[in-house]
């Protein structure tokens, strides 16, 4: 079976900055492939090369069997791009945007209009169809953006940070749309900064940092390689923190005392163990104000894989990021 994406050693630099430094990706058809990394890691540049918007300096890639450089036009006939900046025309209405894309893809007059109406209804945008997109909310804009990407259903869809900056409700709507696309057989390359998003949607994930893939696997493989999540406990009485630390250390291992004098955390993989431990605190007369069991965050994934945090990596590559998206 032909791979949806087969990329080897892709490289791209802007001036002196190496944005992508030898990326390999293998994506099977009909799956969601997550590309996870901080700002400036090279995700957008990679997507732009695969979507034929940039020519790689080195390496090669094929999309559904077509070379992204030599057969760029054939590639464009199979893919859709939903960019990080919403790829819709702000100065047109929602309906006009969809008719425009429909006509450009070969739908004639009436067919383009009917398709626009159908998509507006399916994406819950019928009421706003006549409004200029610049007056849309972030969530509406994203939905319109994705609708524009499926005016004619692509075989492969690139989604570059589709939920960054969205409120939880809009984010869930976008996730629902992505699940529907996958259910109908579209392959999706999903770039994201959020482990949770990749975890929920992706079949496989590549973690990318400074232009390189530093880890690859299924979400559970990845999380296992990173280690556990953390149980964080906040006490009513800071004076009890030493006693609490004693209990947590006995039950789960090394305790981290946080800056907040009433808070402490300990690494913990299992929800059951966390619950038992919190119960143990109560039995010991320690009063708990609140507790949470967090999944490993992207920061922890990065810490584990690179020895530096995602935030630090993003700060460090701020210049690279500016290069990556020329204003």
Partner 1 sequence: MSIAPTPTADTALTDADEAAVRTAITSISRPPRASRTSAALTFGWRGMLKVKHVPEQLLDVTITPVMFVVMFTYLFGGAIAGSTAEYLNYILPAILVMSVLFTTVYSGVALNTDLTKGVVDRFRSLPIWRPAPLVGSLIGDSVRYVIAGTVIIVLGVILGFRPGAGVLGCVAALGLVVLFAFGLSWVFTTLGLILRSPNAVMNAGFMGIFPLTFLSNVFVEPDTLPAALEAFVDVNPISILSTAARGLMEGDAAAADIVIVLAVAAGLTAVFMPLTTRLYAKR
Distance CA 132, CA 96 (A): 9
Q: How far is the CB of 104 from partner 1 (least distance, A)?
A: 5
Q: Taking a C-beta distance cutoff of 8 angstroms, is the pair 131, 88 a contact? A: no
Site string for partner 1, 51-90 (x = CB under 8 A): xxx-x-----------------x--xx-xxx-xxxxxxxx
Strand partners, 20: 12
Binding of partner 1 by 148 (CB under 8 A): yes
Distance CA 301, CA 15 (A): 30
Q: Taking a C-beta distance cutoff of 8 angstroms, is the pair 250, 207 a contact? A: no
Among 107, 140, 266, 298, binds partner 1 (CB under 8 A): 107
In this complex, which beta carbon is closest to partner 1, that of residue 285 or of residue 326? 326
Which 153-192 residues touch partner 1, going by CB under 8 A?
153, 168-169, 172-173, 175-177, 179-181, 183-184, 186
In this complex, which beta carbon is closest to partner 1, that of residue 189 or of residue 213? 189
Q: How far is the CB of 100 from partner 1 (least distance, A)?
A: 6
Distance CA 251, CA 233 (A): 14
Torsion sign (Cα): 226, 182, 119, 2: positive
Helices (H) and strands (E) in the chain, counts: 13, 14
Give the CB-side neighbour count of residue 111, counting CA atoms within 13 A.
Answer: 10
Q: Which residues bind partner 1 (CB under 8 A)?
A: 48, 51-53, 55, 73, 76-77, 79-81, 83-93, 96, 100-101, 103-108, 111, 115, 118-119, 121-124, 132, 148, 150-153, 168-169, 172-173, 175-177, 179-181, 183-184, 186, 196, 230, 232, 265, 292-295, 297, 326-327
């Amino acid at each position: 079976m032909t791979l949806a994406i087969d990329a080897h050693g892709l490289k791209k630099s802007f001036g002196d900055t190496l944005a992508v430094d030898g990326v390999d990706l293998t994506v099977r058809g009909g799956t969601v492939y997550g590309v996870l990394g901080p700002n400036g890691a090279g995700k957008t540049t990679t997507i732009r090369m695969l979507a034929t918007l940039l020519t790689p300096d080195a390496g090669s890639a094929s999309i559904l069997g077509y070379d992204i450089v030599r057969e760029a036009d054939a590639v464009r006939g199979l893919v859709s791009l939903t960019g990080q900046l919403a790829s819709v025309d702000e100065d047109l209405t929602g309906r006009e945007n969809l008719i425009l894309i429909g006509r450009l893809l070969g739908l004639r007059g009436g067919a383009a209009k009917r398709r626009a109406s159908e998509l507006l209804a399916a994406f819950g945008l019928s009421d706003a169809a006549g409004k200029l997109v610049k007056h849309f909310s972030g969530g509406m804009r994203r939905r319109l953006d994705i609708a524009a990407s499926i005016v004619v259903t692509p075989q492969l869809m690139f989604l570059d940070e589709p939920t960054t900056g969205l409120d939880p409700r809009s984010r869930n709507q976008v996730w629902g749309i992505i699940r529907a696309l996958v259910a109908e057989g579209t392959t999706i390359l999903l770039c994201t900064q959020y482990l949770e998003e990749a975890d929920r949607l992706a079949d496989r994930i590549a973690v990318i940092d400074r232009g390189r893939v530093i880890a690859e696997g299924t979400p559970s493989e990845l999380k296992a390689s990173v280690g556990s999540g953390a149980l964080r406990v906040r006490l009513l009485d800071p004076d009890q923190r030493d006693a609490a630390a004693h209990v947590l250390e006995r039950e789960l291992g090394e305790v981290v005392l946080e800056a907040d004098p009433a808070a402490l955390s300990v690494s913990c993989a299992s929800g059951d163990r966390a619950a038992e431990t919190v119960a143990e605190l109560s039995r010991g007369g320690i009063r708990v104000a609140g507790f949470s069991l967090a999944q490993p965050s992207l920061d922890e994934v990065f810490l584990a894989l690179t020895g530096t945090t995602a935030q630090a990596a993003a700060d460090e590559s701020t210049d690279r990021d500016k290069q990556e998206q020329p204003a």
